[in-house]
Chain A
Amino acid sequence: MGQIVFAAGAPHAPAIVGLFDRAPADSQKVVKDTYTAITQELKAAQPDVLIVFANDHLANSRITLYPDFLIGTAAQHSGPHEWFQEWIGCRDYSAKGNPDVAKALFQGMTRRGIRMSSREENLKFDDNISVPVVMTDLDRTEITLVPVLQNCTVPPFPSPEKCYEVGTALRDFIEKDLPKDMRVALFGSGGLSHEPGGVKYYKIDEEFDRAFLDLCVKGDHKELLKEITVERLEEAGIGGTAELLSWFPVMAAIGERPGRSFGYTGWPSFRCGVGGVIWDLEAKQ
């Protein structure tokens, strides 16, 4: 029986790397505090494997044949993919994969009625995986990585309820299918409000972002599913804010638990609201 030892959600906006030096001090502090806490607590939890749910930005599949959840089963996960290097402005990395866990996840979710897909080749990573990996220096640890690239942008994409169902199955998979004492970390990568490529490219919905972070910190999932609908996500930024659906499998897998956030910034040049949550796994459900 595997055990979830760490769970967090945070944005992967490329500008938190590429434009960090130009950001005002209070915005820098939010990025630094959030990712420092995530890095320290992730390492302290000593996980064997980190499963990251992150949206695919149409980098791995044609729009005409688009998987909702694509598991990377490679032995190494290198990135960022060539075209995204100058755009993110981050260093290259090669994180250790975990083909055994990745393939078990594919089989386990299939057996539980959750349609996923898998690919053995190195997936093409843009900011989705690259930003959390370089911000936490994951590739410089012994922690293995299993990326699950999620469809949050090609309609019709999985709803909050569906993503929650995925997380419930994920918990069952971790408890029943993974080896005894395997330590598992979970991370939802994406959000907060933004509209990449849209007419509201420069708008950030601070009210939505703060309300979303509060709901995550509170850990009341009935309220979360009531408040956070696809319509509300899209209202806060079409094609971008729905990346927060990658936090839902994580929250469902750990159950209703409170969390901590580390401030919020809506600095326009990040072109994305920024704030993250680490959930308290010691707290009673």
Chain B
Amino acid sequence: MAWEKFNPNLAAHDLVQDMKWDPKLREEFKRNEAAVLDRYKLMPEERKAIEERDFRTLYDLGMHPYLGGQLSRFIWGNDAGKGAVEASNKLVASLQGHSRDIPNT
């Protein structure tokens, strides 16, 4: 991964930024993800990648990795001790192209 794929136009960036700033939106995302995604001008492949938790594709489309990391925490957990660790395990597994939770090191 390098910056040559980075695309600051992706609507997924706004989705992550908005969820960081709005607890109600985070709650809605958990309850009815599709309704939240409907409100963003996501490209079809961008939306599909979010729905399938396919971070490799999201990054290939140009998602900023820091916001990708935060998206993984909205999905899998954010607390220091457990949730955030699980989120980063699953994120890295997705980026490495396998389904195991524990990343290759």
Contact = CB atoms under 8 A, between A and B. Distances in A.
Given A83-B23, A154-B64, A201-B103, A15 B80 contact: yes
A82 B72 contact: no
Nearest to B26: A83
A122 interface: no
Contacts of B105: 202-203, 268
Contact of B65 (A63, A83, A195): A195
Contacts of B53: none
Interface residues of A, number: 35
Nearest to B103: A202
Contact of A59 (B13, B20, B84, B92): B20
Judged by DSSP, the binding face of A is: loop
B6 A87 contact: no
Given A199-B96, A271-B88, A239 B80 contact: no
Interface residues of B, number: 35
Contact of A196 (B3, B9, B26, B66): B66
B80 A198 contact: no
B80 A86 contact: yes
20 contacts: A57-B66, A58-B13, A62-B14, A63-B8, A83-B78, A86-B79, A86-B80, A89-B79, A124-B20, A124-B21, A196-B65, A196-B69, A197-B64, A197-B67, A199-B95, A201-B69, A201-B103, A238-B2, A239-B65, A269-B85
Interface of A: 14-15, 17-19, 57-59, 62-64, 82-83, 86-89, 124, 153-155, 195-199, 201-203, 234, 238-239, 268-269, 271
